[in-house]
Homo-oligomer: A and B are copies of this chain.
Amino acid sequence: MEEFKKIGLKQSFVDAKEKVTGAAKYLDDISFPDLLIGKILRSPYPHARIVSIDTSAAEALPGVKAVITSKDCPNIKFGMEIADVDMLAVDKVRYVGDEVAAVAAENDEIAQEAIKLIKVEYEQLPVVDDPIKALESGSPLIHDGMKDNIAREYHVARGNVEEDFAACDYVFEKEFSTHRVSGLYLEPFGAVAKWETNGRLTVWTGLQSAFQGRNEIAKALGIKPSQVTVKAPFIGGGFGAKIWIRNFHPIAAVLAKKTGRPVKILLTRDEEQLTTRPRIAPRMKLKLGMMKDGTLVCKQATIIADNGPYSWAAPKVLLNLSIRTDCLYRYKSSKCDSYLVYTNLIPTSGFRGYGNSQMHFAVESFIDECCRKVGLDPVEVRLKNCVHKGDLTLHGWNIKSCGLSECIKVAAEKIKENRLPVEEQNGRIKRGIGVACMNHVSGNRGGEKFDGSSAMIRIHEDGGIFIFSGESDLGQGARTVFAQIAAEKLGVPIDDITVMPLDTDVCPFGMGTYSSRVTTVAGKAVFLACEKVLEQVLDLAAEMCQRQRDTMYMDEGFVKCSRDPSILMSLKEVAAKAIRTKAGVPLTAYVTYDPPTVGADKNFYGDYSSAYTYGAHGVEVEVDTVTGRVKVLRVIAVHDVGKVINELGLHGQITGGVAQGIGWCLYENMLFKKGVPATNGLHGYTFMTIKDMPAVEGIPIETNDPIGPYGAKGVGEPTLIPTAPAIANAIEDACGVRMRDLPITPEKMYWALHPQEKGN
């Protein structure tokens, strides 16, 4: 087995010092002497017609440099999957927070004051705050001129579920539902827009997908993508809500154009909470067919998901939600019918797990419930049915590495090990354990679209190494992973490597940070670019020292010869020769890598991910049967990561994913009253704090994926996915109650534990 010097270490993040000292520059640190502050006037109503807007008082306020409404914006609808978004509301507002007008002023106070001075006359419209009602005929239409409120629907069938259900020993049916939660990243989203003197636009913003964001900003403004530069400062988290632009991106550009000065729009925490991109909230009717021996035969799902009024990533998220879990087990057939429905609640989008988390909650809860009902061991049933390396799944995945069964086994064993014996539990507090597993992707090719990444490696004449990648580091540690991969491949100290800031003008094209693709796909591009530049170094070094090329290698920044220990040349020496002499070797390599996947066809069948990831969580909970309060005591998080690149980063991902999974399952919920948000800001929104955080033991399983760099697969999203169903399973284990509607609040638990009282 290969020995690694940089891979698998506990590597401090390459930007850790900047972060902990406060030196790191985030968006709010981007400034210019002539910077203006932009603010947005937002709709107070979930659904209303705009009768008139009077901006005269705002315009008259000293220090106000521009006030804009939809009349000042290009007449272009934009959006990721469906172009249903206006930069500023045209005629109608569709949720509380919808962008109505914007100002640019000398400072924040004036901008806020100006916003208050804009007079808008609204005519309120009936509110659609429930997707089921939105589907009823006669429901008010969110978008005028559409025939119904359906934004997207999917109907996917593999095999013949009708026949298979008929042949099953058991058929179970239940409905599950999950809810909107906020990403709660530390840094609210924002942008600084500045028109350059050559007519180009620079936008500083913490997008997860800088290139796709660049294109979308250009589209909204009606200009060419290459006229826009997106530069990423440090980014304080995103979790999916920063994949796509928001309205404020082009709004800042329009304000900057109108004023001839750079404009910063940074959302306040309240605005962020109001307009973030929460998980889409589905109701999932599940039907599961099983044989007496525990063989899972078929699965059927009917899903109605709440899109909010604008689509963003939700159509894609719904597809994952609809079918991805079908590849977790060896089903014979599956069928799903799913609908994404417009409402007047906050628009939803992708969020860590990208739909996969919602259906995992349903399926992994339901399998557990069904097994318990018929006396089967849920863990055994999972192991009996789970996919393995070499499988071709129902939807066409070609499983090239798979640690699923090992993850399940380890999670199940480890969570049993230290559990409090049932006999020691006294009356009120019940303890239980639960296990749930998951699958996910490392990259996701959309049809014939590119799913790769590019990397450029440049060695300077002093041996300093720069990595250019078009993928964002939101804090997950991509920069460190790139540096480790390069240090390993090149044989240099990690300190010799600088991962350059993301700038779409100079960094090579990348699709962005989503689908847990960065380590696998972009890391592979870095790996290959290093391989290419290393060739240049060793070719020249062999010539310089007159030794055979195949005996040359790099080690800790020095070129050595395997057959002659007297050879010791620093990379600096070789680089200076390459760049500063007639040799003229650029020591620069540019590689575009696209994984050998085929993309899904029109029926969503295909091997569309570079690598598939697996994991299982074992959870121990305690339930206060009097108050209904659930507390997670321990989490064993076992993840098939292919190969650990940075153990420190991996455990960060695991701890963060588990925390966010618990928060989603037990604490967080974006609530509305007749379409009006009832859980505003951080004061009005419940989330888990450190005191409720359980001990988390993260256990990596290394399956050495044949494609990922050094065998690595993505782990960004997987760590959250099985937590919620594992908790629900542990709750049933503790107190016999099955919770099918997230979040599992003490109130819901109370009524579930005391159903008889509900009658009163």
Chain B positions within 8 Å of A584 at CB level: 450, 452, 592-594
Measured between alpha carbons, how far is A200 from B464 in the docked complex, in Å?
12
Measured between alpha carbons, how far is A15 from B588 in the docked complex, in Å?
29
| Contact A586:B592 (CB < 8 A) given known A461-B225, A505-B466 | yes
Chain B positions within 8 Å of A226 at CB level: 460-464, 466, 498
A603 at the interface (CB under 8 A from B): no
User: Which partner residue on chain B sits nearest A215 by CB separation?
Assistant: B461
Chain B positions within 8 Å of A132 at CB level: none
| Contact A579:B450 (CB < 8 A) given known A32-B31, A584-B594, A586-B590 | yes
Measured between alpha carbons, how far is A584 from B460 in the docked complex, in Å?
27
Stretch at the interface among A17-25, A58-66, A94-102: A17-25
A508 at the interface (CB under 8 A from B): yes
Nearest chain B CB to A346's CB is how many angstroms away? 30
User: Which partner residue on chain B sits nearest A260 by CB separation?
Assistant: B23
Chain B positions within 8 Å of A198 at CB level: 15, 18, 23, 498
State whether A200 touches B449 (Cβ < 8 A).
Answer: no
User: Which partner residue on chain B sits nearest A584 by CB separation?
Assistant: B594
Chain B positions within 8 Å of A500 at CB level: 505-506
State whether B197 touches A18 (Cβ < 8 A).
Answer: yes
State whether A448 touches B590 (Cβ < 8 A).
Answer: no
State whether A468 touches B506 (Cβ < 8 A).
Answer: yes
| Contact A200:B498 (CB < 8 A) given known A505-B466, A582-B445, A592-B584 | yes
User: Which partner residue on chain B sits nearest A585 by CB separation?
Assistant: B592
State whether B588 touches A508 (Cβ < 8 A).
Answer: yes
A657 at the interface (CB under 8 A from B): no
State whether B594 touches A449 (Cβ < 8 A).
Answer: no
Chain B positions within 8 Å of A590 at CB level: 586, 588, 590
Nearest chain B CB to A255's CB is how many angstroms away? 19
State whether B581 touches A224 (Cβ < 8 A).
Answer: no
A509 at the interface (CB under 8 A from B): yes
A421 at the interface (CB under 8 A from B): no
Please pick, from B197, B450, B463, B582, the residue contacting A581 in the complex, using a CB distance under 8 A: B450
User: Which partner residue on chain B sits nearest A589 by CB separation?
Assistant: B590
State whether B498 touches A580 (Cβ < 8 A).
Answer: no
Give how many A residues have a beta carbon under 8 Å from the other chain's beta carbons.
54
Chain B positions within 8 Å of A585 at CB level: 592
Nearest chain B CB to A234's CB is how many angstroms away? 9
Measured between alpha carbons, how far is A32 from B34 in the docked complex, in Å?
9
A33 at the interface (CB under 8 A from B): yes
A557 at the interface (CB under 8 A from B): no
Measured between alpha carbons, how far is A465 from B356 in the docked complex, in Å?
39
State whether B224 touches A464 (Cβ < 8 A).
Answer: yes
Measured between alpha carbons, how far is A33 from B32 in the docked complex, in Å?
6
| Contact A464:B227 (CB < 8 A) given known A198-B498, A508-B586, A584-B452 | yes
Chain B positions within 8 Å of A464 at CB level: 224-227
A454 at the interface (CB under 8 A from B): yes
Measured between alpha carbons, how far is A590 from B15 in the docked complex, in Å?
29
Q: Mark A225-242, 1 if CB is under 8 A from B, else 0.
A: 111000000000000000
Measured between alpha carbons, how far is A431 from B194 in the docked complex, in Å?
58
A353 at the interface (CB under 8 A from B): no
State whether B225 touches A450 (Cβ < 8 A).
Answer: no
Measured between alpha carbons, how far is A9 from B721 in the docked complex, in Å?
63
Chain B positions within 8 Å of A289 at CB level: none
Q: Mark A432-453, 1 if CB is under 8 A from B, else 0.
A: 0000000000000100111110
Chain B positions within 8 Å of A463 at CB level: 226
A599 at the interface (CB under 8 A from B): yes
State whether B33 touches A579 (Cβ < 8 A).
Answer: no
State whether A24 touches B197 (Cβ < 8 A).
Answer: yes
User: Which partner residue on chain B sits nearest A33 by CB separation?
Assistant: B31
Nearest chain B CB to A526's CB is how many angstroms away? 14
Chain B positions within 8 Å of A454 at CB level: 586, 588
> Could you tell me which residues of chain A, from 500 to 557, have a CB within 8 Å of some CB in chain B?
500, 503, 505-506, 508-509
Chain B positions within 8 Å of A592 at CB level: 584-586
State whether B31 touches A449 (Cβ < 8 A).
Answer: no
Measured between alpha carbons, how far is A134 from B454 in the docked complex, in Å?
60
Nearest chain B CB to A106's CB is how many angstroms away? 13
Chain B positions within 8 Å of A224 at CB level: 462, 464
Chain B positions within 8 Å of A18 at CB level: 197-198
State whether B586 touches A599 (Cβ < 8 A).
Answer: no
**Which one of A215, A586, A588 has the highest number of Cβ atoms from chain B below 10 Å of its Cβ?**
A586
Nearest chain B CB to A90's CB is how many angstroms away? 26
State whether B23 touches A582 (Cβ < 8 A).
Answer: no
Measured between alpha carbons, how far is A599 from B584 in the docked complex, in Å?
14
State whether B25 touches A197 (Cβ < 8 A).
Answer: yes
Measured between alpha carbons, how far is A280 from B408 in the docked complex, in Å?
80
User: Which partner residue on chain B sits nearest A453 by CB separation?
Assistant: B584
Measured between alpha carbons, how far is A462 from B224 in the docked complex, in Å?
7
> Could you tell me which residues of chain A, from 89 to 127, have a CB within 8 Å of some CB in chain B?
none
**Which one of A451, A463, A588 has the highest number of Cβ atoms from chain B below 10 Å of its Cβ?**
A588
Chain B positions within 8 Å of A200 at CB level: 498
State whether A449 touches B586 (Cβ < 8 A).
Answer: no
State whether B460 touches A225 (Cβ < 8 A).
Answer: yes
Chain B positions within 8 Å of A599 at CB level: 582
Measured between alpha carbons, how far is A585 from B200 in the docked complex, in Å?
25
> Could you tell me which residues of chain A, from 24 to 83, have a CB within 8 Å of some CB in chain B?
24-25, 31-33, 35
Measured between alpha carbons, how far is A583 from B33 in the docked complex, in Å?
44
| Contact A580:B460 (CB < 8 A) given known A198-B18, A198-B498, A200-B498 | no
Measured between alpha carbons, how far is A581 from B448 in the docked complex, in Å?
6
| Contact A586:B197 (CB < 8 A) given known A224-B464, A448-B581 | no
User: Which partner residue on chain B sits nearest A503 by CB separation?
Assistant: B506
User: Which partner residue on chain B sits nearest A35 by CB separation?
Assistant: B33
Measured between alpha carbons, how far is A586 from B590 in the docked complex, in Å?
8
Chain B positions within 8 Å of A582 at CB level: 445, 448-451, 594, 599
New A-B pairs, 12, CB < 8 Å, besides A198-B498, A451-B582: A15-B198, A18-B198, A23-B198, A200-B498, A215-B461, A225-B461, A226-B461, A445-B582, A450-B579, A503-B506, A505-B506, A584-B592
What are 24 A-B residue pairs whose CB atoms fall within 8 Å in the complex? A15-B198, A18-B197, A18-B198, A23-B197, A31-B32, A32-B33, A33-B35, A200-B498, A225-B464, A226-B498, A448-B582, A449-B582, A450-B584, A452-B584, A454-B588, A461-B509, A500-B506, A503-B506, A505-B506, A506-B506, A508-B586, A582-B594, A582-B599, A590-B590
A-side interface residues toward B, CB under 8 Å? Answer: 15, 18, 23-25, 31-33, 35, 197-198, 200, 215, 218, 224-227, 445, 448-452, 454, 460-464, 466, 468, 498, 500, 503, 505-506, 508-509, 579-586, 588, 590-594, 599
Cβ-closest 6 pairs across A and B: A226-B464, A23-B197, A584-B594, A226-B460, A506-B506, A586-B592
